[in-house]
Structure 1
C-alpha cells in the first residue's frame, strides 16, 4: 500500500472522528432530529451532542447497528425516541422511554434492563424489521399500542401478550403468520383493534379468544375459506368493524357471514371496488368462489369441530366435578380419620380407666369377702359361747 493511500485513510479517519452530530436547526425546539448518524464503536457515541433536557430525539437515515445501553448516556432525559432507517440490528430499550419507534431497521432482537421498570412505555413501533417471532415484550406491561407489521413472523402464541393488559391496538399485518396458539380463556381486557392483514392464515378458530372490547378486526388478504359468525360473536361481542376482502371465501359461507354481520350491526370494511376473476363472484365487494360441495364440506368440518369442542368442554367439566368430589371426599376422609384417631385415643383412655376400675372392684370384692369372713367367725364364736352349759361348783 502506498504512503499516499495510508495518509488518505488517516485523514479520512480523522475527519470522521471529528464529526459532531447536533440537532437540525430547522426543527421545533422541542424536537431534536439527528440525520445520518454513524455509530460503529463506543467512541462514536461521544460525537452526539444534545441540548440539555431534550425529551424528544429522532435518529433518521444513519448507521447504528448496535443501539446499546451506552448510547443512552447521551439521552439521559429522552422519553420520546425514534430510530428509523438506521440499520439497527440490536436495540436496547431503556426504562425511561414512553414512546419508541424503531421501524425500518434490521431488528431481530430486543434487549431490556433486567430489573427495569417499564411502566411508562405506552407506544412501541417495530414495523419493517426482521423479526421471525414475537420479541420478548412481556415486561412492557403498560404498552397501549404495539406495531409488529411488516416482519417475518410465522407463528404467534397469543399468551405472550397476556401481561400487556393495557394494550389497545395490536398490528400483526404483513407477516407470514400461518396459525395462532392460545390457551382457553385468553383475555386482553382493553384491546380494541386487531389487524392481521396480509398473512397466510387458512383458518381461524376464535373459540378460546375472549376480547370483550375488540371493536375492529381486519383479516383481509389471507387464505381464509370459511368463518362462522357464532365464533365471532362469542369471542368479540363488541365488534363493530370487520375486514374480510381478498381471501378464498366460499360464497355460501360468506353470504351467511355477511348476514350475521348485518344482524349484529357490524360494518364490513372493503377496499375500492375491484374486478373479481372470471370464476369468482362479488358479494358486497368481496370476492368468493361458488361451490356447494365446498360449502357443505367446510360447514361440516366446522360443525364437527364445534361438537368436538362441546365434548371437550363436557369432559373438562366432568373432570373438574370429579376433582371437586375427590377433594371433598378427601376432606371428609381426613375428618373421619381425625375423628377415628381421636376415638382410638378415647378408647385407649377408657380401657385404662376400665382396667383401673376392674382392679378397684377386685380389691373391693376381696375387702368385702374378708369382712364377711371376719363377721362369720365372730357370729360362730358368739354362738358357741351361748350354747356352752353353765358349770355349778358344789361344796
Structure 2
C-alpha cells in the first residue's frame, strides 16, 4: 500500500528538481534587436532601447533576427556596467555606442572577447576612473570616445592594450594630471582631445611615442605654458586648439597650419623662422597683444583674427607681407584711423572686420586695393556718414555691410540702406548685440535723431561664421559613415591609400616627363613637342581611368554584399533558434 505514496513522492521531487533547473532560464531577461536605422531595415544594425542592467552577472540574453549584426546602439538605457555577454553573443561586433547609459564602472575583463571592436562610444556616462588594462581584448579598437564623464584619473596602463587607437576623446572630464607614459603605446594616434578638463601642465615627454598626432585639442584647461620640446616632438601636428587657457607666451612650431589660441593672456606670439612657417589660420582673439610685429611676418597666413587685443594704431607697413590674407578681424583693437595704403597688398581679402574701434570717419577709398571684398563690418564705431556711392565700383562682390551701432541719423541711414538693398547688399545685423525692436531703427540698425538720445551698445565676442572647426575632423565622420553603411572600413581605407600612392607616383613621373620634354632637346621641332604633350595627356587619362575603376570596384563590392545579405532567409523553429541558408546566387 506504500508503493503509490512512494511513487507520488518521487514524482513530486522530480517536479521540484525540474522547476529548480528551469528557474534560471525563466528569470533570464531577453532583449531583441531593433534593426531599423532611420526608418530603414538594416540587418547589420541593432538598436536596444530601455535596457536596464545593474550588474554584469545578471542573466541577460540579447537576440537578433539576423545572426551577424555589428553596429550596436543603446537608447534610454541604464547600464551600471557593460554586459560582457554581448561580445560572446555577437563576436563580429565592430561598433558599440553606449553613450548616455549611466555607466559607472568598467571591469577589467569587460572587453575580453571584443576582438573585432573598432569604434566605442562611452561618452556622457558616470565613469570616474579608468583602471589599468581596462581595454584588454580590444585589439582592433580605432576610435574611443570617453568624453563628458567624471573621470578624475586615468591609470598609467589603462590604454596599453588598445594600441591601434587613432582617435581618442577625453574631453569634458575632471582630469588634473596625466601620467607621462599614458599614451606611450598609441603610436597610431592622430586625433586627441583633452579639452575642458583641469590640466595645468603637460609633461614634455607625454607624446614622445605619438608623433603621428595631427589634431590636438587642449582648450578650456588651466595650462600656463607649452615647452618648445613638447611641440617640436609632434612633427605631424597640423591643428592645435588651445583656447581658454592661461598662456602668456607661445612659440609657433613650423609644422602647424592652424592655431586656435583665443582667450588666453598672451603678450607675445612668435616663431623661430617665419620663412619655414606653414601657418595659414591664426586665431588670437581676446588676448593682451599690443605688438604684432612677429605675427605680421608670417607670409603664409590666410585667415587672421586679432580681435579684442589692445593693439592700437597701425602703421602703413603692418600688413605689407601678408599678401595671402582673405579674412582679417580687427574688431575692438583700438584703431583710431585707417590710412591710405595700409591694405595695399591685400588684393585677395574677402572679409574685413573693423567694428567697435574709435573710427569717427571712414573713407571707403582706403580699401581700393581690396576688390575681392565680400563682407565688411564697421559696426560699433562713431561713423556718421560713409561715401557709399563708391561701393559698386570698388567692391563688385560685396554681399554684406555691417552698420550697427554707429552715430547714424535716421534719415541718412534710411537712404544708405535703400541704396544697399538696390545693389543686393545685406545690412541686417548678424551679431547678437541686443534687441532694438523697441527703439528707432532701420532694418534692425539702431539710429537716433540727436546725440542726446543715443544709446551705446557693447561689443559682443563671437565665433566667426566661416571658421567651422568640424572641418578638421572630416576623416572621423567619414569613417563612421562607412562603418554604418556596411563597408569594410579597412579595405576602403587601404584602397584610398593605394589611390593616393598611385597619384603621388604618377605626379612624380609626370614631372620627370615634363622635365625631359623641356630640357633634353631644346632644338627639337614643333611636331616633337606636340608629341610630348600628347604623351603626357595619355598618361593623365590613364591615371583618371585607374582611379575611376578603383571607385567602381568598391561600389560593386558594397552592392554585392548588400544583395547577398538580402537573400538570407530566416526560419524560426519551435525552440526559437535561428536557422539560415543562402539561395543560389
Superposition TM-score tier, normalisation by shorter sequence: 0.5 to 0.7
What per-residue deviation string (whole Å, max 9, x for no partner) do you get for residues 151-176 of structure 1?
A: 22332346422322221111122433
Displacement, 1:29?
Answer: 5.1
After TM superposition, the structure 1 = structure 2 runs for residues 1-395 of structure 1, keeping only pairs within 5 Å, are: 19-20=179-180, 22=182, 30-34=190-194, 35-39=197-201, 44-48=203-207, 51-114=210-273, 116-118=275-277, 120-157=278-315, 159-183=317-341, 186-209=344-367, 210-233=369-392, 235-270=394-429, 274-275=436-437, 277=439, 281-290=440-449
- The alpha carbon displacement at 1:217 in A equals 0.6
Contact 2:376–2:400 (Cα < 8 Å) also in 1: yes
Secondary structure of 2:276's aligned partner: coil
Displacement of 1:206 in angstroms is 2.8
Q: Equivalents in 1 of 2:282, 2:293: separation in Å? A: 12
Q: Counterparts of 1:128 and 1:184 in 2: how far apart (Å)?
A: 23
Where is the helix percentage greater, Structure 1 or Structure 2? 1
Residues 235 and 76 of structure 1: CA distance in aligned 2, closer, same or farther (over 3 Å): same
Question: How big is the shift at 1:36?
Answer: 4.0
- Please give the per-residue CA displacement for 1:242-280, whole angstroms capped at 9, x wherever unaligned: 111111112343233223323432221335761465xxx
Q: Any unmatched runs of 5+ in structure 1?
A: 1-15, 292-395
Cα pair 2:210 2:234 within 8 Å, conserved? no
Task: Give the TM-score of the pair, scaled to structure 1.
Answer: 0.59
Moved over 6 A (4+): none
Contact map agreement 1:171 1:196 (CA 8 A) in 2? yes
Separation of aligned partners in 1, 2:218 and 2:209: 12
Q: 1:126 to 1:188 in 2, by over 3 A?
A: same
CA contact (8 A) 2:414 2:442 kept: yes
Q: What TM-score, normalized to structure 2?
A: 0.41
3-state secondary structure, aligned to 1:194: strand
Deviation at 1:115, TM superposition (A): 6.0
Equivalent residue number for residue 562 of structure 2:
none
Question: Would the alpha carbon gap of residues 286 and 52 (structure 1) be closer, same or farther in structure 2, given more than 3 Å must change?
Answer: closer
Cα–Cα, structure 1 residues 155 and 22, in superposed 2: closer, same or farther, change >3 Å? farther
Q: State whether residues 228 and 257 of structure 1, in contact with CA within 8 Å, keep that contact through their aligned partners in structure 2.
A: no
SS of alignment partner, residue 224 of structure 1: coil
Q: 1:114 to 1:262 in 2, by over 3 A?
A: same
Could you say what secondary structure the match of 2:447 adopts?
strand
Aligned-partner Cα distance in 2 for 1:36–1:185: 42
Residues 2-58 of structure 1, C-alpha deviations (whole Å, 9 max, x = no match): xxxxxxxxxxxxxx99943756x9xx9531123544349xxx423455524111112
Q: Distance in 2 between matches of 1:286 and 1:39?
A: 46
3-state DSSP class of the match of 1:132? coil
User: Is the Cα–Cα contact under 8 Å of residues 134 and 156 in structure 1 kept in the other structure?
Assistant: no
Q: Is the 8 A contact 1:169 1:194 kept in 2?
A: yes
State the 1:211 CA deviation.
Answer: 0.7
Of structures 1 and 2, the larger Rg is shown by 1
SS class of match (2:318): helix
Aligned residues: 268
Q: Is the 8 A contact 1:22 1:50 kept in 2?
A: no
Gaps of 5+ in 2: 1-175, 451-585
Alpha-carbon contact 1:276-1:287 (below 8 Å) kept: no
Judged with a 3 Å threshold, the aligned counterparts in structure 2 of structure 1 residues 76 and 229 are, in CA distance, closer, same or farther, namely: same
* Structure 1 residue 142: Cα displacement: 2.0
Quick one: structure 1 residues 116 and 39, their matched pair in 2 at CA, closer, same or farther if it must change by over 3 Å? farther
> 1: distance between equivalents of 2:216 and 2:181?
12
RMSD: 3.3
The 8 Å contact of residues 202 and 222 in structure 1, kept in 2 or not, is answered as yes
Deviation at 1:87, TM superposition (A): 0.9
**Structure 1 Cα separation of the partners of residues 300 and 263 of structure 2:** 24
